[in-house]
Amino acid sequence: MGVTGYAGLEALRLLLQHPACRVTYLASHSHPGEDVAAVHPHLSGLGLPALRPADPDAIAAEADVALLSTPARQALVLAPALLDRGVRVIDFGADFRLKDPAAYARHYGGPHTAPGALGQAVYGLPEFHRAEIAGARLVANPGCYPTAALLALQPALAAGAVLRDDLIVDAKSGASGAGREPTAAGHLPEADENVWPYRVAGLHRHGPEIEQELALAAGGPVSLTFSPHQVGMSRGLLATCYARLARPLPEAEAAAIYGEAYAAEPFVTVVPGLPATKPLRGSNAAHVAVRVDPRVGRLVAIAAIDNLGKGAAGQAVQNLNVMFGMAEDTGLPRVGLLP
């Protein structure tokens, strides 16, 4: 659902190459009845189903799992209807990420109206919730900013190497993270060769999501400053994160903490250099690096992802693989497109 948007389109691209998946239903609120190739000409000649409205009965007759790439609050209606009909759901949006309904109401413009589904939802970051995802009927696919921030900070917090207060996430995303709807900021003359902050000082909706998951790793509440930025590039996300050291920490020990945390992970690599976004373009990979600044007693952790890959559609397919007992990397590229 929402296949004409950037994240939905990327999910379709990945699923068309997935050896165990068949795409049976394409839903679009804005283009019902049209050929998807009329919206995205590069999909011509693939014999894809026509775009249809999101009809839970019709979807249940044709699909085992539904991927919802819809605006906030739409999944509150769609997900419970699909679950009631036996369809598993992976929601790209935020409707089931926050466990506290009051926090959801504060940040998403109204009450949470699907508490039964919320109780079933599993936060879909496989590196930290793999066992729960394997048995889930509803997976809340993380946002792109939280994915990078959590991959950067969780190992240090879980190891007790840093303090829970005064965490800082400074993150920059490509313009596709803002969606396909035209905006003045996304207009090429405004966006090209430009970088700007937005919704700082606790105003971005992803902040509570990051705090919720970091608190789980830390074993208690955290204090977070989150500053998102948009960059004049189409895709990619880089998060540079800062935390105060809980004790003197040699950089080799910090590297060992991260190396151990991600040693068995198919998509997360602790790199010796500093991560960059372009090498990850089109992949589900994440590159993480950690440094220690002993002068100010801070740990600096950096994570780079493709915001449409590991930050959205790639992660959704990774979750799908876990849910259905397949090898986690099935149908997913680990190597990006370069140049």
- Which residues carry out catalysis? 144
- What does each of the 339 residues of the chain score in pLDDT, given as a tens digit? 999 999 999 999 999 999 999 999 999 988 888 999 999 999 999 999 999 999 999 999 999 999 999 988 999 999 999 999 999 999 999 999 999 999 999 888 899 999 999 999 999 999 999 999 999 999 999 999 999 999 999 999 999 999 999 999 999 999 876 655 656 556 566 767 788 888 787 678 889 999 999 999 999 999 999 999 999 888 999 999 999 999 999 999 999 999 999 999 999 999 999 999 999 999 999 999 999 999 999 999 999 999 999 999 999 999 999 999 999 999 999 999 988
Name the pTM for this structure: 0.94
Q: Over the chain, what is the mean pLDDT?
A: 93
> According to the model, what pLDDT value does residue 185 have?
59
Q: Which of 20, 68, 26 is nearest to 46 (CA)?
A: 26
Whole-angstrom CA distances from 242 to 15, 169, 245 are: 36, 7, 10
pLDDT at 72 (0 to 100): 87
pLDDT of residue 252: 97
Q: Which CATH number fits domain 144-307: 3.30.360.10, 3.90.1310.10, 3.40.50.1820, 3.40.630.10?
A: 3.30.360.10
CA–CA gap between residue 238 and residue 330 (Å, rounded):
25
| 3-class DSSP state of 263 | coil
How many angstroms separate the CA atoms of 196 and 227, rounded? 10
The CATH number of domain 6-142+310-323 is 3.40.50.720: yes
d(CA 312, CA 241): 20
Residue-range domain boundaries for the chain: 6-142+310-323, 144-307
* Rounded distance between C-alpha atoms, residue 256 and residue 204, angstroms: 33
Taking residue 48's Cβ as centre, other Cβ atoms within 10 Å add up to 17
